[in-house]
Each structure stands twice: as C-alpha cells, then as structure tokens.
Amino acid sequence: MNAKDLLDLVRKITDNEPRVRERGADEATDWVSTYSAAEAGATATVLAVTAAAETDHAALEAQLHAILEIMSSGHVQGSHISQIRDIDLQGLPNQIREYISDLLEE
C-alpha cells in the first residue's frame, strides 16, 4: 500500500459524514492482504478511535467489522484497539454488541 492510498483511506475513515466513514471502513477490508504490520496496526487504531466516538450504527458496525478483518492478518494487537472499551453498549443492536465482544476477546 502506498502512502497516498493509506492517507486517502484514513481520510475516509475519519470523514465528517457517516456514510463516507462507513465506506472507508468497508474499503479498509479490501486492503487486508496488502497491509504491512505497521499499516495494519495504524488502520486498526484509527478505526478503533473512530468507532469509540461513532454515533451512526451502520458506520460503527462497518468499523468493527473492518477491525475484525484486519486482525485476521495477525498484525494487530489488543493495544492497537484499546479504545473499543470506551464504546457505550447501551442502546446498541445485538449484532454490534457481538462484534465488540468478539474484539475484546481477541
């Protein structure tokens, strides 16, 4: 992954618009096989920080799914995604709660 692609991805993941953040998270999974260890860790961290502040359920679900996919690369440690613990579970759909539970078990 080159620097421009990584920067474009981070910009999408952190965009002001929920739909753009959701698409950015979806795109993050497209790169899993090409991430270096540093890129995987950085992308997972940005996704976790964004997820911890996310207010849109669809974007949050996409972010959590992307983190799980990136973790499958073996390059992501729990410390990369520690912000997941800051997500308030109240009012979240069960599927999102399951993603969070799966991530916290990793």
pLDDT band at 102 (very low <50, low <70, confident <90, very high): confident
> 40-58 pLDDT, tens per residue?
999 999 999 999 999 999 9
Token pair recorded at residue 21: 């953040």
pTM of the model: 0.93
Give me the pLDDT at residue 104, please: 87
**In the block, residue with structure tokens 């972010």:** 63
Cβ atoms < 10 Å from Cβ of 65: 18
Contact 30, 13 (CB under 8 A): no
Contact 28, 62 (CB under 8 A): no
% pLDDT > 70, the chain: 99
Cα separation, 72 vs 89, whole angstroms: 24
- Residue 102 amino acid letter: D
Cα separation, 43 vs 82, whole angstroms: 13
